[in-house]
């Protein structure tokens, strides 16, 4: 079953404006990208810096709009979805970014960071929210005591676990992870990979992993693509390109 899919995505960014603010040159970033993410499977995207990987992630999360092409959640375009269904899409497709310190609000305690999506979307009482937060935090390999701490009181690996707990607490179906291990020490990287695999087994999550590290993608993914100047192509691991 295909959970999330994009079809023939094109995206350019304006790079030069004239005196009147009119765009006179554009940088084509994505040039006809199509991708399918199946239930419980992991897709990997490798590729050089600047090749368009993060732009694609943002489009799949609906944080950016493409110039052309479509994004479908369970077969329905997110651009003409009814409000209720769109809300389900937003809950079920979550992001984990490279630098959790930027994506975690420094003024919020872990409990409030992880609980935010629950509070906004569901009418649950405080005790149930607390229970679900604790459960997710534990599932992500953190001690219960972290819930009363602020992001700056955690290590890089712990912060990334909090970012993952934030998706787990919502029982998300897809996690789009953009360079999730790149800012971490090598020893912590392998722990994170194990956590991703463990959570996938428990919750049947689908992942899109973006990384410039072929070893990370190899450890985690069922299918692998390479982004090259805004185009995706299949990568066969046996062709020795990366090893």
Q: Note the residues at the interface with ligand ADP (CB under 6 A).
A: 13, 29, 47, 49-55
Q: Which of 12, 42, 54, 136 binds Mg ion (CB under 5 A)?
A: 54
Q: If binding is defined by CB under 5 A, does position 136 make contact with Mg ion?
A: no
Q: How far apart are CA 168 and CA 57, in angstroms?
A: 19
Judged by CB, which is closer to ligand ADP: 64, or 70? Answer: 64
Q: How far apart are CA 108 and CA 228, in angstroms?
A: 38
Judged by CB, which is closer to Mg ion: 99, or 200? Answer: 99
Judged by CB, which is closer to Mg ion: 54, or 92? Answer: 54
110 secondary structure, DSSP code: H
Q: How far apart are CA 75 and CA 88, in angstroms?
A: 13
User: In degrees rounded to 5, what are phi and psi of residue 155?
Assistant: -80, 170
User: In degrees rounded to 5, what are phi and psi of residue 110?
Assistant: -55, -45
Question: Least Å distance between CB 54 and Mg ion?
Answer: 3
Question: Least Å distance between CB 156 and ligand ADP?
Answer: 20
- Strand 23-38's sheet: what is its strand order? 23-38, 2-17, 68-73, 76-77
Question: Least Å distance between CB 236 and Mg ion?
Answer: 24
29 binds, among ligand ADP, Mg ion, none (CB under 5 to 8 A by kind): ligand ADP
């Amino acid at each position: 079953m295909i959970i999330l899919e994009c079809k023939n995505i094109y995206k350019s960014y304006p790079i030069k404006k004239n005196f009147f603010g009119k765009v006179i040159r554009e940088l084509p970033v994505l040039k006809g990208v199509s991708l399918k993410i199946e239930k419980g499977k992991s897709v990997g995207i490798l590729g050089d810096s600047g090749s368009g990987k993060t732009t694609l992630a943002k489009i799949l999360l609906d944080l950016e709009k493409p110039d052309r092409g479509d994004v479908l959640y369970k077969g329905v375009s997110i651009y003409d979805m009814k409000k209720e269904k769109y809300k389900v899409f937003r809950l079920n497709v979550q992001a984990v970014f490279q630098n959790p310190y930027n994506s975690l609000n420094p003024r919020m305690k872990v409990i409030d960071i992880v609980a935010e999506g629950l509070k906004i979307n569901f009418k649950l009482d405080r005790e149930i929210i607390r229970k679900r937060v604790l459960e997710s935090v534990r599932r992500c390999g953190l001690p219960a005591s972290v819930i009363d701490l602020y992001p700056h009181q955690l290590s890089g690996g712990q912060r990334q676990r909090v970012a993952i707990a934030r998706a787990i607490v919502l029982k998300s179906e897809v996690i789009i992870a953009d360079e999730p291990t790149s800012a971490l020490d090598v020893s912590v990287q392998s722990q994170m990979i194990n956590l991703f695999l463990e959570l996938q087994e428990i919750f049947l999550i689908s992942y899109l992993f973006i990384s410039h590290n072929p070893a990370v993608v190899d450890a985690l993914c069922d299918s692998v693509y390479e982004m090259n100047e805004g185009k995706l192509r299949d990568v066969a691991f046996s062709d020795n390109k990366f090893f």
